[in-house]
Amino acid sequence: MSDYIVIISIGPVQSMIASARKSRDLWSGSWLLSELAKACAISLKKDNAKLIFPFVENDEFLKENSDFSVGNKLQAVITTDTKERLESILNKAKQAVQNRYHQEADNALKQLNQNDIRLDIWQSQIDDLVEIQWAWAKIENNDYIDASQKAGAVLASRKNTRDFSPLAICPFQSELRLPKSSLDGLRETVLKENTEKQTNLTRRKLSLAASEQLDVLGVIKRLGFGKDESGKKVAEQFTPISRVMADAWILEIDQQEPNQLAKIIEIYKKLESLNVVSKVTGNKDKNEQSIYKDFPYDAELLYQNRLDAEIRDWKKINAKNDDLNQAEEILKLLGELQQLLRNDLREYGEPYRYGALLLADGDRMGELLDKAKTQKQHQAITKALSAFAGDVADIMRKHRGHCIYAGGDDVLGLVPLDKAYACANALRLSFAESLREVANQLGVEDKNKPSLSVGLAICHLMTPFGVVREMADIAEKYAKGDHIKIEDEKENHERRNALAILLSVRGGSDIQVRFNWNDEQGLESFKTFVDYYLKKQIPSRVAYDMQAIYLRTQQFGKQDGGDDDKELRQNIQLAELTRMLKQARTDTGKEIDNGIIEQLNNRGKDIGLDRLADELIIARWLSAKTQKELGKE
């Protein structure tokens, strides 16, 4: 009998996760990839493989639709007598992945009128999506690490030599001249042309505009989660981004105007029975209670522009005398909701139209894994990572957010603006605590211990979710500090262990700020700035006035062909800053407190007015609970 290291990769990650227009696409893609990986892991365990990635002590975690997330790369040790037996085990695992994928595809197809589907295209795409690649190496001389490195190198080479099937037999194939999927434009649509009433209903079920298209994977994303024989969903439903964004507003109304919120809920109940809005049943705590149970609905219609658009759409349907969807009754309910929001709750404005997508990744994990010289040490690391991943969903729930994915040191989730910073901080503390013991056991120095870099992308409700995901990726890379030159680092760990926030205002420019988690002074100042805005102690425009001072004084102290007098320029900028702050008034007409002026002046001296203005702008956004507090975009 011989031991073999096996590494299996399941994909494509880009199509399953990154290709998304809605939060549902992103969550469903992450969930589907995790489900395929779990199916692979279960198959390997049935053949007595010892799992390294993922680490599980209880097989319940690997059950279908469990909350446990598994990454797309698995590693295991398989003991067998022949290479033929090894190949057989791997082929069984591959088939288990394919079977799980087909199961979800069949579930999605059953929910649609098949007269609306191009079944020939569906069948041609169904077996041409999931990519399963593997590599293995024999463990010789009990050298587990050497075998792992060999298997990893072989898998990397295998990924660079993929099998490319021909796209067409001839250039005149009619199916290749169909519209492509609106999610990524890679594959042809499986939807027939929108010509009949029933097709309209199909498109509403898939949340599609008349011009949008979906391929097989896109349909699975929109109709995923699976159902049992009674039609009940067996996987947790993801929370729409609008519900997460509107959470602070809903909590405020619930506290200040509970009767008005009850009226909104009553209207929503009727709209939900008419299939106009969706119910939110996911993100449950340990007591099986959704944290959004006080308003368990998609909150999109709480936004005036979305409500107006919905009313226009139903007026068009009503004009065609289409009584199939009870258009008149729906229009009446939408009108009641509009009046309620415009009149009775006018002083509260509407929920803010922005939310934060959080993307986090562990730092120095490669260095930690290099310290592991045995299988037992390797498993100790994966056990610690699994413990952290198991806590992520609860941490995000405590901050009114919803975890999309948590596998090892990778985290992705949505959080409301006013809870985004606290959530990021809680996650990095949990990560450090989870890895501390195993890092100590492996003799890792404090300065090289694993840490968590977190990126927060603040984007508009109507921003395509694929773009939001790209923004989060930019923020996470900025947090990693790859843009910092080694010679510019003050300390060796400054390029990692950080928080980066990217604010992408619709129709405006993007702003980024970055704080190293060890920068206690900077973080404390930033939290204080958020508090100033919460208490209305500084006006919103001071940040923009700082930007103006910075821009008009940039050339001061510079001489043609001469030296750059940076000290003179800084003194001029700080003097202008003090003068501006002395003249500024809060929303209530009061002068800014001298202590606040002094703190802003000191911070400006430390980091410059341009960076200070950026910090204040983002602090103001993180303090807001309604769009009214943010003003015009």
For the segment 560-575, what is each residue's pLDDT rounded down to a tens digit? 555 667 788 888 888 9
Q: What is the pLDDT of residue 366?
A: 84
Residue 215 shares a structural domain with residue 275: no
Among the listed residues 7, 366, 367, 13, the one whose alpha carbon sits nearest the alpha carbon of residue 152: 7
Residue 288 shares a structural domain with residue 193: no
Q: Describe the crossing of helices 247-256 and 258-273 by its angle, rounded to 10 degrees.
A: 130
Question: Whole-prediction pTM value?
Answer: 0.87
Q: Does the residue 356 lie in any domain?
A: no
Q: CB burial class (10 A; 0-12, 13-18, 19+) of residue 425?
A: middle
Residue 20 shares a structural domain with residue 78: yes
Q: What is the pLDDT of residue 369?
A: 86
Residue 333 shares a structural domain with residue 186: no
Q: What is the pLDDT of residue 490?
A: 58
Q: Is the pLDDT of residue 535 over 50?
A: yes
Least confident of 244-248, 284-288, 301-305, 418-422: 284-288
Q: What is the pLDDT of residue 230?
A: 52
Give mean pLDDT, residues 609-619: 93
Q: Looking at the DSSP assignment, which residues form a beta bridge with residue 500? A: 455, 514
HEC secondary structure over 192-251: CCCCCHHHHHHHHHCCCCCCCCCCHHHHHHHCCCCECCCCCECCCCCCCHHHHHCHHHHH
Q: Does the residue 68 lie in any domain?
A: yes
Distance in angstroms (rounded) separating the CA atoms of residues 41 and 8: 10
**Residue 523 near residue 515 (C-beta atoms within 8 A):** yes
Residue 308 shares a structural domain with residue 203: no
Distance in angstroms (rounded) separating the CA atoms of residues 320 and 322: 5
Q: Residue 237: what are its φ and ψ, rounded to 5°?
A: -80, 145
Q: Does the residue 144 lie in any domain?
A: yes
Domain around 286:
247-302+304-348
β-pairing, 410-415 vs 451-460, is unpaired
pLDDT in tens, 261-288: 999 999 999 999 888 888 888 888 777 7
Rounded percentage of the chain residues whose pLDDT exceeds 90: 42
Cα 210 to Cα 183, 203, 204: the distances in Å are 14, 8, 9
Q: What ranges make up the beta strands (E) of 461-599?
A: 498-504, 510-516
Q: From edge to edge, which strands make up the β-sheet containing 410-415?
A: 402-407, 410-415, 354-363, 451-460, 498-504, 510-516
Cβ-based neighbour number of residue 138 at 10 Å: 13
The separation between CA 609 and the C-alpha centre of its own chain, rounded to angstroms, equals 31
Cα 523 to Cα 519, 527, 598: the distances in Å are 6, 6, 17
Residue 10 shares a structural domain with residue 118: yes
Q: Give the count of domains, the chain.
A: 3
For residue 123, give the H/E element and its range: helix 119-126
Q: What is the pLDDT of residue 172?
A: 56
Among the listed residues 227, 221, 236, 242, the one whose alpha carbon sits nearest the alpha carbon of residue 297: 242
> Max alpha carbon distance in the chain (Å)?
83
Residue 12 shares a structural domain with residue 135: yes
Q: Does the residue 18 lie in any domain?
A: yes
Q: Looking at the DSSP assignment, which residues form a beta bridge with residue 363? A: 451
**Residue linked to tokens 């992945």:** 97
Radius of gyration of the chain (CA): 27
Split at pLDDT 50, 70, 90, the class of 466 is confident
Split at pLDDT 50, 70, 90, the class of 493 is very low
**Residue 512 near residue 458 (C-beta atoms within 8 A):** no
**Residue 480 near residue 363 (C-beta atoms within 8 A):** yes
pLDDT in tens, 289-333: 889 999 999 999 999 999 999 999 888 776 666 555 588 899 999
Q: Does the residue 473 lie in any domain?
A: no
**Residue 500 near residue 478 (C-beta atoms within 8 A):** yes
One DSSP character per residue, 443-477 reads: T--GGGS-EEEEEEEEEETTS-HHHHHHHHHHHHH
Give mean pLDDT, residues 80-88: 90
Tokens of 319: 């004009």
Residue 62 shares a structural domain with residue 97: yes
Give mean pLDDT, residues 590-615: 92
Q: Residue 561: which region, alpha, beta or left (left: phi > 0; alpha: psi -120 to 50)?
A: left
Q: Does the residue 334 lie in any domain?
A: yes
Split at pLDDT 50, 70, 90, the class of 491 is very low
Distance in angstroms (rounded) separating the CA atoms of residues 87 and 391: 36
Q: Does the residue 575 lie in any domain?
A: yes
Report, in this order, helix, strand and coil percent for the chain, each rounded to 5.
55, 15, 30
pLDDT in tens, 356-395: 999 999 998 888 888 888 888 888 999 999 899 989 999 9
For residue 9, give the H/E element and its range: strand 2-11
Q: Is the pLDDT of residue 206 over 60?
A: yes
For residue 2, give the H/E element and its range: strand 2-11
Q: What is the pLDDT of residue 487?
A: 57
Split at pLDDT 50, 70, 90, the class of 488 is low
β-pairing, 354-363 vs 410-415, is antiparallel
Q: Does the residue 525 lie in any domain?
A: no
Residue 62 shares a structural domain with residue 192: yes
Residue 41 shares a structural domain with residue 84: yes
Residue 8 shares a structural domain with residue 66: yes
Rounded to 5 degrees, what angle do the CA atoms 174, 176, 182 make? 130
Split at pLDDT 50, 70, 90, the class of 194 is low
Q: Is the pLDDT of residue 168 over 60?
A: no
Q: Is the pLDDT of residue 80 over 60?
A: yes
Q: What is the pLDDT of residue 530?
A: 93
Q: What is the pLDDT of residue 517?
A: 94
Q: What is the pLDDT of residue 492?
A: 43
Rounded to 5 degrees, what angle do the CA atoms 53, 57, 59 make? 90
**Residue 453 near residue 497 (C-beta atoms within 8 A):** yes
Cα 190 to Cα 28, 30, 206, 511: the distances in Å are 19, 22, 12, 40
Residues 6 or more apart whose CB falls under 8 angstroms from that of 91 comprise none
Q: Is the pLDDT of residue 23 over 60?
A: yes
Q: Is the pLDDT of residue 626 over 60?
A: yes
Residue 153 shares a structural domain with residue 188: yes
Residues 6 or more apart whose CB falls under 8 angstroms from that of 410 comprise 71, 360, 361, 362
Distance in angstroms (rounded) separating the CA atoms of residues 423 and 395: 7
